[in-house]
């Protein structure tokens, strides 16, 4: 079974979001990295760029497939995980830790429209059938 | 539910991720296809390839039939030697690629792809009509490939002393045929190694013996990146019934001599040679970061366009690589459309990797970038 931490919020497109004060950290879920297999290339958004919720803002590519990253919230990119450019496998090894993708400052204080761990868990269970 | 090889339970025990491959439930990887790839390049790996079709041809006319059936010439074979060849249709298109082992004058063993199982058997049956030969699928056999630079050092731990000595003495593309065991020094990875055919009942214990010796279980994912680095074509991707061996970097597998040998497709190939072969299969190396994918468009200035037939990522080179079908006589440089962007790639003659090392020279610009 894939790891789905209760403390995080999730998007339907398999990103996770961690809130620390007014800063959000975004990555892809354990389920997503498992489905993709070994990642070999990651493209991240430009720092200081503004992105809208649901907007394509990066790519993760495994040997077998490429998947777009969609921003789970609207905001300004304040930091990207540059370690991934040389070591994309960090996403496989530690998707909720060292494999984070980017940090952003949301335009609105209240982050809406994301799934709880239970809701996300139900979603991937339904996708499997 | 797909078909299962005699090693299916072994794959589940090794935590394989199982995928459908041509109707078979096969291991894609056992955790990390990149690690599996590196194990084969630097150490030793084992693949279950029991989904491939083994066909034994026996009878007085088996050689005569094969002389007509395939584009390479089985008269090049001596007992226990193997030959790689294409089986063509009348238009010169490739029905399948296969390995033929000569066992004796009236016994040859064919190993064909699993995805082409039905049409191959039907074609062989049709073309062998009128010959004194029977071709029979051997579905009670299993096949594994043990590949990598350290495999030869383990032979005496894997086989009894008599077989091990015979296998250790094999030159590339030769085989040992002993009771309940058939071992060829062949493979699909570009590394030294062996393909082992044995009764289905013997396969799980042989598999376990390999794992106990730290031979790493490897899935179809690593098999694909290894064969691509080695510049080996994949049937259905790099060639099919509408492409000829001349257009598929396989001209070397066509035996033109003796001229009177009228193999199926010969006339079409001769005609294509006369009128000029207009397409070729080449290797591409992406200059920047990223991964090349099947069906991406390739553009060559002043020469036209082509298409990637097998695109992937080379774990050895850490670069996107591909085989691509492009116009003949193109230069050393092209552009590939990757996810809406136009990126430069270098054109090479495969292989990309030989014995664990890069097998081509970077072009000048790239060299400077790398220094």
* pLDDT single digits (tens) B205-252: 999 999 999 999 999 999 999 999 999 999 999 999 999 999 999 999
Residues 6+ apart with CB under 8 A from B149: B41, B42, B43, B44, B191, B192, B355, B356
| A19 close to B (CB below 8 A) | no
Residue with tokens 């919230």: A73
Average pLDDT value for chain B: 96
For testing contact with chain A, the best of B31, B313, B340 (most A CBs within 10 A): B313
Each residue's pLDDT tens digit, B58-83 = 999 999 999 999 999 999 999 999 99
Reply yes or no on whether the pLDDT at B371 is more than 50. no
Average pLDDT over residues B145-165: 97
Q: Is B204 helix (H, G, I), strand (E, B) or coil?
A: helix
Distance from CA of B68 to the nearest CA of A (A): 39
Reply yes or no on whether the pLDDT at B1 is more than 50. yes
**Residues paired with residue B217 on neighbouring β-strands, in sequence order:** B46
Each residue's pLDDT tens digit, B20-59 = 999 999 999 999 999 999 999 999 999 999 999 999 999 9
| Burial classification of residue B358, based on how many CB atoms lie within 10 Å of its CB (0-12 exposed, 13-18 middle, 19 or more buried) | middle
For residue A87, the chain B residue with the least C-alpha distance is: B318
pLDDT of residue A2: 83
Choose among B246, B256, B248: nearest CA to B72: B256
pLDDT of residue A129: 60
| pTM for the whole structure | 0.94
Average pLDDT over residues A67-88: 96
| B32 close to A (CB below 8 A) | yes
pLDDT of residue A113: 87
Domains of chain B listed by start with CATH number: 278-370 (2.40.30.110)
Q: How many other C-beta atoms can be found within 10 angstroms of the C-beta atom of residue B139?
A: 10
Reply yes or no on whether the pLDDT at B8 is more than 80. yes
Task: Read off the pLDDT band of B355 (50, 70, 90).
Answer: confident
pLDDT of residue B364: 64
Choose among B323, B325, B329, B327: nearest CA to B352: B323
Residues of chain B with pLDDT > 90: what percent? 94
Those of residues 79-118 in A touching chain B at CB distance below 8 A are 85, 89, 92
Distance from CA of A97 to the nearest CA of B (A): 19
pLDDT of residue B14: 97
CA dist A114 and B38 (Å) reads 39
| B18 close to A (CB below 8 A) | no
State which fold the A31-121 domain adopts.
OB fold (Dihydrolipoamide Acetyltransferase, E2P) (2.40.50)
Reply yes or no on whether the pLDDT at B326 is more than 90. yes
| A68 close to B (CB below 8 A) | no
Tell me if B291 and A92 make a contact (CB, 8 A cut-off): no
Tell me if A37 and B33 make a contact (CB, 8 A cut-off): yes
> What are the chain B neighbours of A41 within 8 Å (beta carbons)?
289-291, 313, 320
Each residue's pLDDT tens digit, B249-272 = 999 999 999 999 999 999 999 999
| A38 close to B (CB below 8 A) | yes
Choose among B72, B92, B94, B77: nearest CA to B261: B72
Task: Read off the pLDDT band of A108 (50, 70, 90).
Answer: confident
CA dist B311 and B296 (Å) reads 8
Distance from CA of A76 to the nearest CA of B (A): 24
Each residue's pLDDT tens digit, B278-322 = 999 999 999 999 999 999 999 998 889 999 999 999 999 999 999
Each residue's pLDDT tens digit, A26-73 = 999 999 999 999 999 999 999 999 999 999 999 999 998 999 999 999
CA dist B296 and B298 (Å) reads 7
**Residues paired with residue B319 on neighbouring β-strands, in sequence order:** B314
Nearest CB to B34; choose among A38, A61, A85: A38
| A78 close to B (CB below 8 A) | no
Average pLDDT value for chain A: 94
| B221 close to A (CB below 8 A) | yes
For residue B36, the chain A residue with the least C-alpha distance is: A38
CA dist B301 and B290 (Å) reads 22
| B128 close to A (CB below 8 A) | no
Reply yes or no on whether the pLDDT at B15 is more than 90. yes
ipTM over 0.90: no
| B190 close to A (CB below 8 A) | no
> What are the chain A neighbours of B221 within 8 Å (beta carbons)?
37, 63-64
Distance from CA of A92 to the nearest CA of B (A): 9
pLDDT of residue B302: 86
């Amino acid at each position: 079974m894939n790891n789905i931490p209760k403390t995080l919020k999730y998007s339907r497109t398999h990103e996770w979001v961690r809130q620390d004060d007014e800063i959000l950290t975004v990555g892809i879920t354990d389920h997503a990295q498992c489905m993709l297999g070994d990642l070999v290339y990651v493209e991240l958004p430009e720092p200081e760029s503004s992105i809208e919720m649901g907007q394509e803002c990066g790519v993760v590519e495994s040997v077998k497939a490429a998947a777009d990253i969609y921003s789970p919230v609207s905001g300004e990119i304040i930091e990207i995980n540059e370690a991934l450019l040389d070591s994309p496998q960090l996403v496989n090894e530690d998707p909720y830790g060292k494999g984070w993708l980017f940090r952003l400052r949301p335009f609105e204080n209240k982050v809406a429209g994301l799934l709880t761990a239970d809701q996300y868990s139900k979603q991937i269970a339904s996708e499997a059938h | 539910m797909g078909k299962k090889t005699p090693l299916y339970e072994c794959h589940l025990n090794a935590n394989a991720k199982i995928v459908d491959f041509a109707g078979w439930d096969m291991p894609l990887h056992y955790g990390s296809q990149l690690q599996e790839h590196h194990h084969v390049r630097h150490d030793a790996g084992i693949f279950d390839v029991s989904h491939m079709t083994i066909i034994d041809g026996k009878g007085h006319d088996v050689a005569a039939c094969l002389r007509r059936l395939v584009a390479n010439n089985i008269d090049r074979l001596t007992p226990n030697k193997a030959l790689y060849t294409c089986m063509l249709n009348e238009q010169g298109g490739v029905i399948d690629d296969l390995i033929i082992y000569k066992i004796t004058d009236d016994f040859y063993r064919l190993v064909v792809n699993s995805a082409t199982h039905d049409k191959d058997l039907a074609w062989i049956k049709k073309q062998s009509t009128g010959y004194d030969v029977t071709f029979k699928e051997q579905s009670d056999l299993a096949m594994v490939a043990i590949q990598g630079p350290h495999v030869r050092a383990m032979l005496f731990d894997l086989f009894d002393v008599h077989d091990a000595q015979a296998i250790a003495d094999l030159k590339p593309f030769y085989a040992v045929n002993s009771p309940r065991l058939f071992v060829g020094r062949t493979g699909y990875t570009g590394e030294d190694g062996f393909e082992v055919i044995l009764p289905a009942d013997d396969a799980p214990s042989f598999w376990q013996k390999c794992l106990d010796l730290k031979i790493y279980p490897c899935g179809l994912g690593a098999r694909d990146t290894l064969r691509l680095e080695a510049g080996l074509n994949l049937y259905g991707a790099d060639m099919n019934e509408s492409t000829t061996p001349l257009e598929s970097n396989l001209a070397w597998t066509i035996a033109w001599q003796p001229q009177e040998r009228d193999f199926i497709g010969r006339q079409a190939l001769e005609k294509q040679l006369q009128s000029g072969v207009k397409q070729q299969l080449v290797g591409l190396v992406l200059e920047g970061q990223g991964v090349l994918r099947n069906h991406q468009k390739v553009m060559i200035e002043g020469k036209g366009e082509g298409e990637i037939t097998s695109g992937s990522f080379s774990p050895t080179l850490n670069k996107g690589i591909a085989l691509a079908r492009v116009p003949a006589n193109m230069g050393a440089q092209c552009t590939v459309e990757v996810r809406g962007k136009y990126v430069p790639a270098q054109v090479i003659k495969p292989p990309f990797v030989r014995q664990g090392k890069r097998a081509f020279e970077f072009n000048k610009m790239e060299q400077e970038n790398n220094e």
